[in-house]
Homo-oligomer: A and B are copies of this chain.
Amino acid sequence: MPYVNIRVTREGVTPEQKRQLIEGATRLLVDVLGKNPATTVVVIDEVEMENWGVGGIPVDERRRNRP
């Protein structure tokens, strides 16, 4: 029954990578806590780079200033 929410910047995550994130997060809950994979939910949120900030600066701006 666990719920896992993975939030990353939107920058070309492929369907295969999403599949691996979902599979890996589910297996983690099974391996560590013995949870039932059938009821483990994983939701991936892809967030625009201008909407994600670290160090007080949007990620897209950080990238431009660090060539």
Contact = CB atoms under 8 A, between A and B. Distances in A.
Q: Which size bracket describes the interface of A in this complex?
A: 35 or more
| Total copies of the chain | 6
A54 B32 contact: no
A54 B33 contact: no
B41 A26 contact: no
A33 B17 contact: yes
Contacts of A6: 2-4, 29
19 contacts: A1-B59, A2-B6, A2-B7, A4-B4, A4-B6, A5-B5, A18-B51, A19-B50, A20-B32, A23-B53, A23-B57, A25-B53, A26-B56, A39-B54, A41-B53, A42-B52, A43-B53, A44-B53, A45-B51
